[in-house]
Amino acid sequence: SLSDHQKLEREARICRLLKHPNIGKPPWAQRVGESMCFLEIPSKGHCIHQILESVNHIHQHDIVHRDLKPENLLLASKCKGAAVKLADFGLAIEVQGEQQAWFGFAGTPGYLSPEVLRKDPYGKPVDIWACGVILYILLVGYPPFWDEDQHKLYQQIKAGAYDFPSPEWDTVTPEAKNLINQMLTINPAKRITADQALKHPWVCQRSTVASMMHRQETVECLRKFNARRKLKGAILTTMLVSRNFSGKFSLFPSLGFVSCE
């Protein structure tokens, strides 16, 4: 259709605009959220720093990704220190500077920002919110917002209802929590920018970040997180093929999300 053609043209135009070591284009890289699963990255501090570098670059070019999530992060190779790249610009949009407008409902449920869910004008800060969700997952292996009921999930997000429960967060530094809080700020005008996040003390403390991310309990939770997500994807695919389910049926009533217990 014409609409699909226009979308492809927009994505191609955006990809041509972006030239950065941390901007990737399939199919030459491996997905962090799938085959790499966050677990084979030598340093996850290296990971979040490069994610922020890529987001800062696209924002400098007045591009909003709108679908930041682990599945859209790529590793150039399995080699130590491989570049982490941001990919899949299918939902990306071009904005005018710090313009805020209603560009339509787009993204993945657990990574959507409060302003999108409220159908308020939005812009670059939606990507920072998603970065906060990704960082939270990287640190403890489960997401800040989760409910089997999507309406309840959205209510959590709009209220900014997350915390740092014990014992998983007991050994995470106050600086890391501070960065997450600044990324998951409900008011987009007060949310930290990508440029500011790159200068945050926690991001600059690369060695500390790397050691924190290799805690065994975090690695185990990440394994569970990735396994659960893959299972949900397989179940959903099967259901969509069979088309034998009600619109009111909860797709994953008994799975929940990961627990570190």
- Write down the domain spans for the chain: 2-242
pLDDT for the residue 11:
64
2-242 CATH, one of 3.40.220.10, 1.10.10.350, 1.10.510.10, 1.20.1630.10: 1.10.510.10
Q: Which residue has the tokens 């290296």?
A: 46
Respond yes or no: is residue 120 known to be catalytic: no
pTM as predicted: 0.73
Which one of the listed residues 4, 62, 67, 88 is annotated catalytic?
A: 67
DSSP 204: H
Calculate the dihedral angle through the C-alpha atoms of 82, 109, 131, 163, rounding to the nearest 10 degrees.
-120
Q: pLDDT tens track of the chain, all 261 residues? A: 447 666 666 666 666 676 766 675 644 334 444 434 444 444 556 678 889 999 999 999 999 999 999 888 877 666 666 677 787 888 888 898 888 888 899 999 999 999 999 999 999 999 999 999 999 998 888 999 999 999 999 999 999 999 999 999 998 899 999 999 999 999 999 999 999 999 999 998 754 544 454 454 555 555 566 565 555 544 444 434 444 433 333 222 222 322 232
pLDDT for the residue 179:
96
- Alpha-carbon distance 203 to 253, whole Å? 37
Q: What's the CA angle centered on 115, arms 109 and 120, to 5 degrees?
A: 125
Listed in sequence order, the residues at least 6 apart from 93 whose beta carbon sits closer than 8 Å to its beta carbon are 10, 63, 64, 66, 103
pLDDT for the residue 17:
73
pLDDT for the residue 227:
60
- Sheet of strand 84-86, all strands in order from the earlier edge strand to the far edge: 30-31, 73-75, 84-86
